[in-house]
Structure formats: structure tokens, C-alpha cells
Amino acid sequence: MKGMFITFEGTEGCGKTTQAELLADYFRQKGQEVLLTREPGGPKIAESIRMILLNKDNIEMLPETELLLYMASRSQHTGEWIIPALKAGKIVISDRYYDSTIAYQGAARKIDRNIIDTIRKYATFGLVPDLTFIIDLPATKGLSRIKRENADRLEQESLEFHTNVRKSFLEIAEEESRFRIINGNKSIEEIHKDVLKIIKEIQEGRDET
Ligand code: T5A
């Protein structure tokens, strides 16, 4: 498989990071070059913005500021890391990308979707993932995996907030063919197998064309 942009999405503690790492290992074992990265974050400037966004002391942050900071972080990440890696033929796996903004800042913070889509197109240079896994898990179950004393600013939000995020991911998944919903209520190994099944189907489809 040539360069491909794969993203993992879902609610807090759904197991995205674990699955993104396992998939990166799978590709590396096959001899493919992989950029495994995350949002908010990645390059230095984007990681600095991440610290502002997740700092639980920043309770006064306005939804508008939050949206623009996520997009600023994403713009640097996409332009500095993701696009050059894809041009070099690498497989890029990102733990979250702009679908998280639609779910968190759109559905949960109630920012107009048209505003998000307009800024998103500019901030990402129009880059859309080739494949997006949504690891679906009830918000309560994911949150129970996170230690409360370590909870960041977003994780501290209400159960209603996180339930809206989950609902939104399931709605977004209906919009484009790049989405695959994975049942997050299974073991780590079983979910990895489900992810690999989809990857292999896509590889076979590509080989036939
Ligand atoms: N955000 C992000 C926005 O609001 N807008 C945006 O545009 C973007 C990009 C990022 C925060 O920013 C928000 C969303 C987030 O609130 P983060 O620290 O990167 O914050 O946190 P998350 O992305 O939410 O990721 P987490 O690391 O908290 O959770 P993951 O990645 O879902 O889960 P993972 O793999 O780390 O696993 C959590 C725990 O569960 C276990 C793992 O071992 C680990 O202990 N686990 C399982 N246990 C049982 N069964 C399984 N199947 C398991 N899979 C994993």
C-alpha cells in the first residue's frame, strides 16, 4: 500500500491510542514507513497549543477560542508533518483529526457546523483522511478508564457533553464512505483484529485497481 492517511476517532478512553499504536506496529512489521501522530499535537508548535487546550486551569476558555486553537494546532500539524509524510509515501496514522472538532466543538459546544467546515478547509489545506475508524463505546465506560485525578480540561466535562460527542461521531459516520465504526466493547486484541480485517479489505481493493 502506498501513502495513506488513517485517523482514529471516538470518545474519551475508547481505546483509540492503543489501536493506533497496534496498527502502526503492523505496518512497520510489513516494512512500511509510518508516521504515528496525534491531535492536538505533533510538531513543537502544535504540542505547545495542546498544553494550553488541555490545561485544566484554563476554565475561562471561550468555545470560540477553543475552536481556533484546535484548528491552529491542526494547521501546523497538517502542513509541517502530515502532508510532507504523505508526499514521501508514508502511512500516516493520527489519533484524532478534524472529525473530533465536529463532535466536540460542534455537537457538544454547539458551534455552528458551517463555521467549523469553513475554518477546517482552510486549516487543513483541504486534506481529508482516506480512512477513519470510529471506536464506539458508551461515554461512561470510556470515562471510567481515565483516572479522575489526571482528568484534563475536556475530560472534566459533564456526561451529557461526552454523550453528545459519541452521538455526533455516529452521525458523522453516515456522511462519507471513509468511515468505519468499530465496536469498542471488545478486548484490545479483538478490536485490533477488526481493524486489520478492514485494512486488508481495502488493500485487496487497491491491488485490484
Ligand atoms: N479534542 C481533540 C477536541 O475537543 N477537539 C479536537 O479537534 C481534538 C483533536 C485530547 C482532547 O481534546 C479533545 C478530545 C480530548 O478530550 P487526549 O489526551 O489526546 O485529549 O485524549 P484522548 O484523545 O481522549 O485519548 P485518551 O488517551 O484519553 O483515550 P483513548 O486514546 O481513547 O484510549 P487509550 O487507548 O489511551 O486507552 C485508555 C485506557 O483504556 C485501556 C488502555 O489500556 C488505557 O488504560 N484500554 C482498554 N481497556 C479495556 N478494553 C479495551 N478494548 C481497551 N482499549 C484500551
**pLDDT value of position 2:** 66
Q: How confident is the model at residue 209 (pLDDT cuts 50, 70, 90)?
A: low
Q: Write the pLDDT tens digit of every residue in 54-100.
A: 999 999 999 999 999 999 999 999 999 999 999 999 999 999 999 99
Site residues for ligand 1, CB cut-off 6 Å: 10, 12-18, 38-40, 54, 70, 96, 100-101, 104-105, 145-146, 152, 154-155, 187-188, 191
Q: Do the Cβ atoms of 42 and 80 come closer than 8 Å?
A: yes
pLDDT at 102 over 70: yes
Q: Write the pLDDT tens digit of every residue in 177-199.
A: 999 999 999 999 999 999 999 99
**pLDDT value of position 171:** 98
- The DSSP code sequence of 52-120 is HHH-TT-TT--HHHHHHHHHHHHHHHIIIIIHHHHHTT-EEEEE--HHHHIIIIIIIT---HHHHHHHH
Mean pLDDT for all residues in the chain: 95
Ligand 1, atom 38: nearest CA belongs to which residue? 13
Q: Write the pLDDT tens digit of every residue in 114-142.
A: 999 999 999 999 999 999 999 999 999 99
Closest alpha carbon to 103 in 7, 9, 37: 9
**11 C-alpha vs ligand 1 centroid, how far in Å?**
7
**pLDDT value of position 150:** 77
Cα separation, 21 vs 150, in Å, equals 22
Ligand 1, atom 1: nearest CA belongs to which residue? 100
**pLDDT value of position 151:** 85
> Quick check: helix, strand or coil at residue 127?
coil
Cα separation, 82 vs 80, in Å, equals 7
Ligand 1, atom 8: nearest CA belongs to which residue? 100
Q: Which residues contact 162 (CB under 8 A, 6 or more apart)?
A: 11, 12, 108, 139, 142, 143
Cα separation, 167 vs 50, in Å, equals 25
pLDDT at 208 over 90: no
Ligand 1, atom 21: nearest CA belongs to which residue? 12
**8 C-alpha vs ligand 1 centroid, how far in Å?**
10
Ligand 1, atom 47: nearest CA belongs to which residue? 15
**Left (φ > 0), alpha (ψ -120 to 50) or beta: where does 136 sit?**
beta
Residue 17 lies in domain? 5-208
Look-up of cell digits 502544535: 46
CATH code for the domain in which residue 190 is found: 3.40.50.300
**pLDDT value of position 149:** 72
pLDDT at 6 over 80: yes
Q: Write the pLDDT tens digit of every residue in 22-48.
A: 999 999 999 999 999 999 999 999 999
**pLDDT value of position 1:** 42
Looking at the whole model, is its pTM more than 0.85?
yes
Indicate the number of domains in the chain: 1
**β-strand 4-10 against 91-95: which pairing, if any?**
parallel
